[in-house]
Each structure stands twice: as structure tokens, then as C-alpha cells.
């Protein structure tokens, strides 16, 4: 292991009323992958921002090499070789991959398209990915955008690369690929600060893990010599019970049946969802799972095939009709498609069921209040009042608001797209418990997930989609990571037959 | 303190009233204040319509020429076609709703931002208006028509101000109390989320433009009734006054936000400004400059107070969490 390249000494950052970081000290060594673990609100983002120069600490020092800083400007951080890949990409969608990578860098006196493309091509070759340097970023799938983002950072000869939840938009196979890249950088001596909610990943990629809680340093462990339960305990400061609720109930009658559903890039999809069942929908990102969800709720056109609810054929041409048949979608992009960020909690919860709480054209304020209060208590939404704007809630609580909204509309069939993406461990447990409770009341859940653990832990059955087709179905006894991966990557898994 | 920030726009209005009262003895008289209301009533009515479109996340640049087209059509029906005024009025109002619905239909079909769509229809309505009026001024509108702009109820209540109050009331009621109003805010706040929550977004878009067309047509009748004659050049420009007032009053350009009282306050600020500056003796061009600065200040202040509110709320939630 190399020498120390970056050390934080007694960093404290106070926001009005909140201590985000308290006397935080940590050393990063050259050529290590250093994972930072902590629940949402543990101070990880603030830490990154301070290292990147986006936020000024109130106290403490940042030492880089033999220089010591009380604060950094973004330009300073960059010139010292610190690059950050944030959760939200900082790419320009209307520019090409090559232009994004070279943005703000000199490639000669004038910007030369050819030089930029050559540079981008060289980087992509090095990463062994086939991305057209001329492709516009907005036309690239999320996973390739991620690689463009990484290439951008690398091309600036980063010495310290900070990655915030880099695997969130990636599928299982792409994660493997990313890890290969990370290992390559490590060999070149780059220090990687890696932030993720997915504990399994940390074991796969990191050399050391630092756990944070409530803005404080808790512990640093050599990854080799720690265990998952130990990390979880350090992180939450309390013993967690079973990660997933035990699924014992036998599913009932078929409530939703797809027969040869084709449209939105998927073809000939057939499966059944039973009452009280959690049916996992596995597959690589881009396999067509979210696209299928859109077809089912009528947000995208059904080209051919049929859908049956309770054995009766239905025609669903809009999300409105889907809701009237009791099918509700909880989208993967909470902020863009799920909630109304500028509106308050009560407003959000009642939004999909306004007519049920209205007397004629007028919204019944008392009924609305009762509805919202009921769901707040049921879902354990943590907020001082129902008048709190949803944008001020944590991701987990926002998810609970969207779930409440969908349930309030009397949905019996929930399509849950990536139910816990970007949600911290504690709240995940809440969501899992809620999903289990709901199915006990006869609600059926179609769960799209790219989180392997979650798929295997929560599903009663798993349907694997590959390239827009059903690649196979797994019963609970046949669940294994290998089976899902094989099917998802287009292989055939023998034991399914 | 929070309340103070929220209602700062009203304080600005009172501040301006105080300022002009001090500068001119003619400003704070019953006569002049009534004048301001009468002068601004048609702008407020049009702005009520526009606010529906803006809250749903759209924009309507065509309302100026909608006013022009509806006004000259109604006048032509009365004066040239010899139809009775109530019939002409009904046709005029229906035409307003139709023109609005056309905007809605075009924006749904073309899937282009409403700003662009109404930029196109603005020109269409302009041509329509000049063809109908044959580029002439229709003089001597009948007394019933003039009553909408000049008449008084019970000898003291200007009818235009009554119409304005009713429009604000209806607009306020729909937006604040009905589920349709909620859906309008929802579409403006997050269109995709609204669609997935079962809102018929196309129907909402048709509805807001039709409602806008209705109020704009009413505004046209008031405006033309006040001038007593009809010409195609009357109306254009209202879109920008209404937009400025809406933004002053806190209706967001991005949609999903805005209240009627803010809108009314916005229009009145502009009205008080131009009236007051006139009385003080500033010329029209100086007035333009002042109005422009007022808008910029208002937008800047709006951003500031939103940041302030967000911080305040964070503080509150942090305290609760601790």
C-alpha cells in the first residue's frame, strides 16, 4: 500500500441547525480503493464536497501531499488532481461523448473535432468499451453515460477519483465491467474514494472501508478482515435483524396475466402475477423491464398481445385506465416521475385519489387530511408536518410518499421499479417490511430490481428478461445469483427446466 | 417573519401607494383609485386566464391578438351583421373559448412547447382579426357593449370591476378548491408524475387553454366596451403586461405555482406605477424603464425568499430530527 496522498484533519462543517461533519479525520493512501459507508445523512456528500472544493469547512485542514489547506476552491481541487463523479451526471446531453470528455481542455489552438474524437476513442479502447465518440450523450444509455463521465475524469489525469454511488444506474454485468476499470486505475496508482449503499460491492472492490455515522468517523477496517454484519452494526449503531422479511405465504389466484405482450421494444412477453405475490423482474439495464412496466400501465403503446386482469381481457391505453383497473406504477425515477417536489406531503399523497375524496368538484379537506395522516402513520413517513414540501424529505421518505399516493388510489397491483434505489439501509428495511405487509393483504407486487440481494431476498418468483424477451422463470427453490446472471446475459440455465 | 416575506409583494404595493400619495395630492383620491381599478380590470381578467395556462406549465403569447380578434368580431357582428348584442356577445365568448382550445389542440398535436405554439397562433389570430375588421375602426358601439367597460351598477360600482372580482373569484375557486385545480397544479409541477398518477394531461391542457380563452374573451369585451370603438390594433401588448403581472405576483414560469391574490397584486402594482408616474409627470418611456426594473427586482426577490424559506424549513426539520 502506498503513502498517504490525502488526509483530512478535524474537519467540521456546520449548516444552520445541522452539524454535517464533526471533527472528522481520515487518511487516504495512494493506489487504494477506499470505500465510505454510512446511512443517508451520515455526512458522505458533505465530505465529498469539501474534498472537491464545493463546500468550505468551518474547521480543520485538508492535506494533499505536503500542502495543507483550510479550504479548497473547485479549481484548486481540480489542479491538485481531484475529480468527482457525482450521482447526478454532469454531462451535457446535446454534445457528443468526445466533446464532453474534452470539455474545458485544450486540444490545440482550436477545438479540433478529430483530436477530441481520437482522445475519446483511445480512452474507450483502454476501457474496452464500444462507445461511438461522436454519439450524442443524450442518446447513450445511463451505463454508457457513466463511462463517459469516468473517461472525462480520467482524461484530466485524476490522482484522486471520488465516485458517488457509481453503480446505481448500472446493471449487474456492467458493474463487473466498472470494477475492472477501477482495478486498472488502482494499478496505475490512482486513489479511489468509493461511496455506495451496496455493501456487497464494497467487498468486491475496496481495500479499506470507513464507516461514518451522524457526521462522525466511526471506524476504518481492512476489507479483508471485516464482515457484512460488522459493517452494518457500525453503520447503524444497532443490531439489525433479518435483512428480508420471511416470505411464507402461498400466493393465490392469478390477478394479472400477460400473453405475448409486445411493444416499446419488448416482444412476446408472457407471465402471470398471483395475488399476494412478489414477482421479481430481473435483467440487465436496458433489457426492457422499465419499458415493459410502461406498456403494462398504458404509458407506452401495446402493439400486440393481451393482458388479463382476474382472467378477463382488458385494454389499457393510459395510466389513468391502468389505475382504474387497480394497477399502479411506482417509477424508478422518484424525482422525475414519482413525486411533486414543490408540493407538500399531504398534497402528494392525495393526488392520485382526488376524486374519491371530493364532494362533486370540490376536494374535501377533512377527508384529505385523514387520508394523508393515515398513510403517514402507516408508512412511518418522518416529517414534522404534512405541510412539509416533499423536496425536503430524504429519498426513502419520498419513496414512501409515492407509495402512499399509489396505494391511496386503491391499487391492487403495484409495479415497483427499483424500490430502494439510493435509499439508505434503515429505510430499506421499512420498505421491505411494507412490501411484505401489503402482500399479506392480497396486494400483488411486480418488482423490477437491479439489486441482486433484493431480488433474491424479496421475490417469490423471478422472471428474467433479456433483450426484450423472457429468458426464463425461477421458482424460489431455484434462486441463485448465478441462475439470474446466466439468464440475464442471454445464457440458458439448465436447472430452470 | 416568514409571513412577512410571503406577503412582501403586498407591502411593495402599499409602499408604492404611500410613495405616490406623498408625491401627488391627486393620487390618493377616491376618484383616482377607482380609476386604477377600472383601468386595470381588463388586464386582471386576462391575467386570470393566463394564470391557468402558466400554472399548468405553459405560456400563452397569443392572448393579445385573441383580445383583438374577439373584440372586432363581436363589434362587427353587432354593427355590421346587425345581430342583437347578447347574441354577438355569446358568439364572441364562444370564439374566445374556441381560439383557446385551438392553442391547446395545436400544442398537444405538435408536442411543442406552448411558447412556440402560441407564437405561431398569435400571428394567425392577428391575420384573422385584421381580415374581420377589414383594417377599419368600428365606431359607436351600442350602449350595452359600452356598459361592460364604462357602466356602473347601482350608480357607484363600475361593472368592469365587478366582472374582474367575479373572474378572480371563479379562478381562485377552481384552482384552490376543486380536484381539477389540483390536477392543473400537478401537471405544471411534474407532468410525467401527473400522467402516471392517472391525470389525463391532454384534457387538462385543452381545459386550461379553453378557460384562458374564455377569460381573455371577457377581457376583450371589457376593453372594447371601455374604448367604445373596435379596432384590430387594440389588445396586442396585453400578453406581456399580464405575464409581467403574473410573474410579479409569484406565478412561476415553470408552472405548478401561483396564487390569485398574488396575480391581482401584481397587476395593481403595475397599474399604480403607471398611474402614479403619470401624475408625477414622468413620461411613458421613463415608465417603461421603471416597470422593467420592478420586474427584475421582483424576480430577484422571489428567488431570495424561496431560498430563505427552504433554509427555514430545513432548520425546522433538523430540529425535529434532533
The reply to whether A119 and A222 lie within a common domain is yes
Tally of structural domains, chain B = 1
Taking CB atoms and an 8 Å limit, are A336 and B256 in contact across chains? no
Give the pLDDT confidence score for residue A40 in this predicted structure: 60
What pLDDT digit, counting tens, does each position of A303-346 carry?
999 999 999 999 999 999 999 999 999 998 888 889 998 899 99
- Domain membership of residue A45 (yes or no) is yes
All three cell numbers of A43, joined, read 455526512
- What average pLDDT score do residues A163-174 get? 76
User: Please, is A94 exposed, middle or buried when counting C-beta atoms within 10 Å of its C-beta (0-12, 13-18, 19+)?
Assistant: exposed
Q: Is the pLDDT of residue A1 over 60?
A: no
Query: Tens digit of pLDDT for each residue in A360-374?
Result: 888 888 999 999 999
Residues A100-122: tens digit of each pLDDT? 888 777 656 666 788 888 888 88
For residue range A440-465, list pLDDT tens digits in order.
Answer: 888 999 999 887 778 888 899 999 98
- CB hemisphere CA count around A324 (13 angstroms): 13
Query: B317 and A388: CB-CB below 8 Å?
Result: yes
According to the model, what pLDDT value does residue B4 have?
54
Cell of B209: 387553454
A320·B199 Cβ contact <8 A: yes
Residues 315-334 of A with CB under 8 A from B: 318-320, 322-324, 329, 331
Nearest CB to B318: which of A17, A354, A406? A17
Q: Is A338 on the interface with B (CB under 8 A)?
A: yes
Sheet holding A4-15, edge to edge: A18-29, A4-15, A59-64, A67-69
CATH number of the domain encompassing residue A161: 3.40.50.300
**Distance between CA atoms of residues A305 and A468, nearest Å:** 14
Clarify whether residues A125 and A272 are in a common domain. no
Contact B265, B10 (CB under 8 A): yes
Give strand ranges (E) for A247-383: 254-263, 266-274, 278-282, 304-309, 312-314, 327-330, 358-359, 362-363
- Residue A220 and residue A312 in one domain: no
Ramachandran area for residue B97 (φ above 0: left; ψ -120 to 50: alpha; else beta): alpha
Residue A387 lies in a domain: no
pLDDT reading at A84 higher than 50 = yes
Give the A:B interface size as CB pairs under 8 Å: 97
Is pLDDT at A82 greater than 80 in this prediction? yes
Q: How far is CA B78 from CA B83, B85, B89, B91, B93, in A?
A: 5, 6, 9, 11, 14
pLDDT of residue B3: 53
A428 versus A314: the higher-pLDDT residue is: A314
Q: For chain B, say whether A382 makes contact (Cβ under 8 Å).
A: yes
List, for chain B, all residue ranges whose pLDDT scores fall below the cut of 50.
Answer: 1-2, 313-322
* Number of domains comprising chain A: 2
SS3 A223: helix
Closest residue to A405, CB basis, from B182, B197, B314:
B197
Give domain status of residue B24, yes or no: no
Same domain, residue pair A447 and A473? yes
A340/B186 CB distance under 8 A: yes
Instruction: With respect to residue A391, please indicate whether it lies within any of the assigned structural domains.
Output: no
Shared domain check, A262 and A143: no
Residue A331: which of B178, B183, B196 has the nearest Cβ? B196
pLDDT for B188 equals 92
Does A320 sit within 8 Å of B198, measured CB to CB? yes
Which residue among B179, B200, B257 sits closest to A363, beta carbon to beta carbon?
A: B179
Contact A320 B192 (CB under 8 A): no
Taking residues A141-155, report their average pLDDT: 80
What is the spatial distance between Cα A405 and Cα A349, in angstroms, rounded to a whole number? 4
Nearest to B196 among A329, A382, A383 (CB): A329
Which residues on A lie below 8 Å from B318 (Cβ)? 15, 17-18
> Tens digits of per-residue pLDDT, A368-402?
999 999 988 888 888 888 888 888 887 888 889 99
User: What is the predicted pLDDT for the residue at B314?
Assistant: 47
Identify the closest residue of chain B to A349 by CA–CA distance: B197
Answer yes or no: do A229 and A258 share one domain.
no
Q: Is B254 on the interface with A (CB under 8 A)?
A: no
A50 and A95 co-located in one domain: yes
Torsion sign (Cα): B42, B174, B310, A340: negative
Residues 6 or more apart in contact with residue B223 via CB below 8 angstroms: B42, B67, B71, B149, B234, B235, B238
Domain ends where: A236, A266, A291?
A236
pTM comes to: 0.75
Predicted pLDDT at B124: 95
Kindly identify which residue of chain B lies nearest to residue A358, measuring between CA atoms.
B179
Please answer whether residues B212 and B246 qualify as being in contact, where contact means their C-beta atoms are separated by less than 8 angstroms. Answer: no
Q: Are B164 and B230 in contact (CB under 8 A)?
A: no
Residues of chain B with Cβ-Cβ distance to A15 below 8 Å are 314, 318
- Identify which of A58, A52, A60 has the alpha carbon closest to the alpha carbon of residue A24: A60
Q: Cell digits for A478? A: 431455484
Please determine, for residue A264, whether its predicted confidence score (pLDDT) is greater than 90: no
Query: Which carries the bigger pLDDT value, residue B178 or residue A150?
Result: B178
| Domain boundary, last residue among A209, A236, A263 | A236
C-alpha cell at A455: 431480488
Least confident piece of the model among A211-215, A412-416, B165-169, B295-299: B295-299
Query: What confidence tens digit (pLDDT) does each residue in A3-26 have?
Result: 888 989 999 988 765 678 889 999
Give yes or no for B257 touching A (CB within 8 A). Answer: yes
Q: What is the pLDDT of residue B55?
A: 93
Pair (A301, A192) in one structural domain:
no
Query: In the structure grid, which three cell numbers stand for residue A80, read together?
Result: 491538485
- Whether residues A231 and A259 share a domain: the answer is no
What are the CA-CA distances from residue A133 to residues A178, A358, B74, B93 (Å)? 19, 54, 60, 56
Residue B34 lies in a domain: no
Rg of chain B taking only CA atoms, in angstroms: 20
Structural domain of residue B133, as residue ranges?
42-236+250-258
Residue of B nearest to A321 (CA): B198
Q: What rounded mean pLDDT belongs to chain A?
A: 84
Which residues from chain B sit within 8 angstroms of residue A361, using beta carbons? 178-180
Is the pLDDT confidence value at A277 over 70?
yes
Domain membership flag for residue A136: yes
Q: Is residue B10 part of a domain?
A: no
Evaluate whether A407 touches A348 at the Cβ level (below 8 Å).
Answer: no
Q: Are residues A224 and A113 in the same domain?
A: yes
* Structural domain range at position A32: 4-236
**Phi-psi map region of B258: left, alpha, beta (phi>0 left; psi -120 to 50 alpha):** left
Q: Note the pLDDT of residue B224.
A: 92
DSSP letter for A43, please.
S
In a domain, B200, yes or no: yes
Interface test with A, best of B56, B198, B312 (most A CBs within 10 A): B198
Q: Residue A379 domain-assigned?
A: no
Residue keyed to cell 402507516:
A378
B/e letters for B194-219, b = 16+ CB within 10 Å, e = fewer, are bbbbbbbbeebbbbbbbbbbbbbbbb
Instruction: Give pLDDT, residue B322.
Output: 38
A6 burial level (CB within 10 Å; 0-12, 13-18, 19+): buried
Give the ipTM of the model, two decimals please: 0.83
The verdict on a CB contact (< 8 Å) between B200 and A320 is: yes
Does any domain span residue B265?
no
Shared-domain flag, residues A214 and A301? no
Check residue A98 and give its pLDDT.
85
Predicted confidence at residue A37, as pLDDT, reads 85
Q: Is residue A363 part of a domain?
A: no
Tell me the C-alpha distance between A281 and A265, whole Å. Answer: 16
In a domain, B28, yes or no: no
Interface test with A, best of B170, B173, B179 (most A CBs within 10 A): B179
| Predicted pLDDT of residue B106 | 93
Decide: residue A23, CB within 10 A, 0-12 exposed, 13-18 middle, 19+ buried.
middle
DSSP A435-486: HHHHHHTT-EEEEE---HHHHHHH-SEEEEEETTEEEEEEEGGG--HHHHHH
- Judged by DSSP in three states, A173 sits in helix
Minimal Cβ distance to A355: which of B179, B190, B316: B179
* 3 state SS of A21: strand
Over residues A31-56, the pLDDT tens digits come to: 899 999 876 667 888 888 899 888 88
User: Which pLDDT band holds residue A495 (cuts at 50, 70, 90)?
Assistant: very low
Length of chain A: 497
Amino acid at each position: 500500500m502506498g503513502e498517504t496522498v490525502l488526509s483530512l484533519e478535524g474537519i467540521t462543517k456546520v449548516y444552520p441547525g445541522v452539524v454535517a461533519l464533526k471533527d472528522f479525520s481520515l487518511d487516504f493512501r495512494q493506489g487504494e480503493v477506499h470505500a465510505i459507508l454510512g446511512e443517508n445523512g451520515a455526512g458522505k456528500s458533505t465530505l465529498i464536497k469539501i474534498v472537491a472544493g464545493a463546500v468550505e469547512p468551518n474547521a480543520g485542514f485538508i492535506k494533499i501531499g505536503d500542502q495543507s489547506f483550510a479550504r479548497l476552491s473547485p479549481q484548486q481541487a481540480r489542479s491538485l488532481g481531484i475529480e468527482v463523479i457525482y450521482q447526478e451526471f454532469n454531462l451535457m446531453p446535446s454534445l457528443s461523448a468526445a466533446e464532453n470528455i474534452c470539455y474545458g481542455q485544450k486540444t490545440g489552438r482550436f477545438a479540433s473535432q478529430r483530436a477530441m474524437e481520437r482522445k475519446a476513442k483511445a480512452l474507450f479502447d483502454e476501457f474496452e468499451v464500444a462507445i461511438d465518440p461522436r454519439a450524442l450523450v443524450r442518446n447513450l444509455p445511463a451505463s454508457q453515460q457513466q463511462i463517459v463521465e469516468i473517461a472525462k475524469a480520467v482524461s484530466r489525469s485524476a490522482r484522486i477519483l471520488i465516485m458517488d454511488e457509481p453503480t446505481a444506474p448500472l446493471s449487474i454485468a456492467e458493474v463487473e465491467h466498472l470494477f475492472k476499470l477501477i482495478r486498472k486505475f488502482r494499478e496505475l496508482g490512482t486513489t479511489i474514494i468509493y461511496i455506495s449503499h451496496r455493501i456487497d460491492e464494497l467487498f468486491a472492490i475496496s481495500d479499506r472501508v470507513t464507516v461514518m455515522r451522524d457526521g462522525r468517523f466511526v471506524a476504518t477496517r481492512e476489507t479483508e478482515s471485516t464482515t457484512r454484519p460488522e459493517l452494518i452494526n457500525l453503520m447503524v449503531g444497532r443490531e439489525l435483524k433479518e435483512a428480508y422479511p420471511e416470505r411464507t405465504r402461498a400466493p393465490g389466484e392469478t390477478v394479472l396475466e400477460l400473453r405475448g405482450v409486445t411493444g416499446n421494444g419488448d416482444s412476446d412477453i408472457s407471465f402471470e402475477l398471483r395475488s399476494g405475490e412478489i414477482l421479481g423482474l430481473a435483467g440487465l439495464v436496458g433489457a426492457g423491464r422499465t419499458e415493459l412496466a410502461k406498456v403494462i400501465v398504458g404509458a407506452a403503446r401495446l402493439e400486440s398481445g393481451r393482458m388479463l386482469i382476474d382472467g378477463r381481457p382488458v385494454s389499457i391505453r393510459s395510466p389513468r385506465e391502468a389505475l382504474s383497473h387497480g394497477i399502479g406504477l411506482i417509477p424508478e425515477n422518484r424525482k422525475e416521475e414519482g413525486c411533486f417536489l414543490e408540493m407538500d406531503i399531504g398534497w402528494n399523497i392525495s393526488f392520485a385519489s382526488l376524486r374519491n375524496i371530493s364532494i362533486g368538484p370540490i376536494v374535501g379537506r377533512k377527508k384529505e387530511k385523514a387520508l394523508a395522516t393515515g398513510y403517514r402513520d402507516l408508512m412511518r413517513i418522518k416529517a414534522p408536518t404534512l405541510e412539509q414540501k416533499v423536496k425536503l424529505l430524504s429519498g426513502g421518505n419520498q419513496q414512501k410518499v409515492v407509495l402512499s399516493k399509489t396505494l391511496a388510489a386503491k391499487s391492487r397491483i403495484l409495479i415497483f421499479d427499483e424500490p430502494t434505489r439510493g435509499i439508505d439501509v434503515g429505510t430499506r428495511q421499512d420498505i421491505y417490511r411494507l412490501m411484505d405487509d401489503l402482500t399479506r393483504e392480497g396486494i400483488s407486487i411486480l418488482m423490477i430490481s437491479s439489486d441482486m440481494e433484493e431480488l433474491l431476498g424479496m421475490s417469490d418468483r423471478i422472471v428474467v428478461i433479456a433483450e426484450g424477451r423472457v429468458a426464463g422463470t425461477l421458482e424460489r427453490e431455484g434462486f441463485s445469483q448465478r441462475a439470474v446472471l446466466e439468464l440475464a446475459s442471454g445464457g440458458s440455465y439448465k436447472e430452470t427446466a | 417573519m416568514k409571513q412577512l416575506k410571503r406577503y412582501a409583494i403586498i407591502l411593495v404595493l402599499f409602499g408604492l401607494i404611500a410613495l405616490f400619495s406623498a408625491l401627488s395630492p391627486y393620487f390618493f383620491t377616491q376618484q383616482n383609485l377607482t380609476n386604477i381599478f377600472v383601468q386595470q380590470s381588463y388586464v386582471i381578467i386576462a391575467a386570470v386566464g393566463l394564470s391557468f395556462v402558466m400554472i399548468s406549465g405553459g405560456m400563452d403569447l397569443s392572448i393579445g391578438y385573441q383580445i383583438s380578434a374577439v373584440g372586432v368580431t363581436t363589434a362587427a357582428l353587432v354593427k355590421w351583421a346587425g345581430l342583437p348584442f347578447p347574441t354577438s356577445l355569446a358568439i364572441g365568448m364562444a370564439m374566445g373559448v374556441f381560439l383557446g382550445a385551438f392553442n391547446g389542440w395545436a400544442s398537444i398535436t405538435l408536442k411543442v412547447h406552448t411558447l412556440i405554439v402560441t407564437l405561431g397562433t398569435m400571428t394567425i389570430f392577428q391575420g384573422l382579426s385584421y381580415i374581420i375588421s377589414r383594417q377599419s375602426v368600428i365606431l359607436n358601439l351600442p350602449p350595452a357593449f359600452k356598459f361592460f367597460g364604462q357602466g356602473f351598477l347601482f350608480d357607484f360600482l363600475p361593472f368592469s370591476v365587478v366582472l374582474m372580482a367575479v373572474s378572480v373569484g371563479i379562478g381562485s375557486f377552481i384552482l384552490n378548491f376543486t380536484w381539477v385545480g389540483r390536477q392543473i397544479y400537478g401537471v405544471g409541477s411534474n407532468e410525467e408524475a401527473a400522467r402516471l398518477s392517472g391525470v389525463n394531461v391532454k384534457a387538462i391542457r385543452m381545459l386550461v387553454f379553453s378557460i384562458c380563452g374564455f377569460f381573455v374573451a371577457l377581457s376583450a369585451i371589457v376593453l372594447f366596451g371601455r374604448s367604445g370603438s373596435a379596432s384590430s390594433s387594440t389588445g396586442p401588448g396585453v400578453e406581456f403586461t399580464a405575464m409581467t403581472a403574473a410573474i410579479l405576483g409569484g406565478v412561476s414560469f415553470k408552472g405548478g405555482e401561483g396564487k390569485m391574490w398574488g396575480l391581482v397584486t401584481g397587476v395593481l402594482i403595475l397599474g399604480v406605477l403607471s398611474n402614479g408616474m403619470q401624475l408625477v409627470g414622468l413620461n411613458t418611456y421613463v415608465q417603461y424603464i421603471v416597470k422593467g426594473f420592478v420586474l427584475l427586482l421582483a424576480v430577484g426577490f422571489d428567488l431570495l425568499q424561496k431560498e430563505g424559506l427552504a433554509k427555514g424549513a430545513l432548520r425546522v426539520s433538523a430540529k425535529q430530527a434532533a
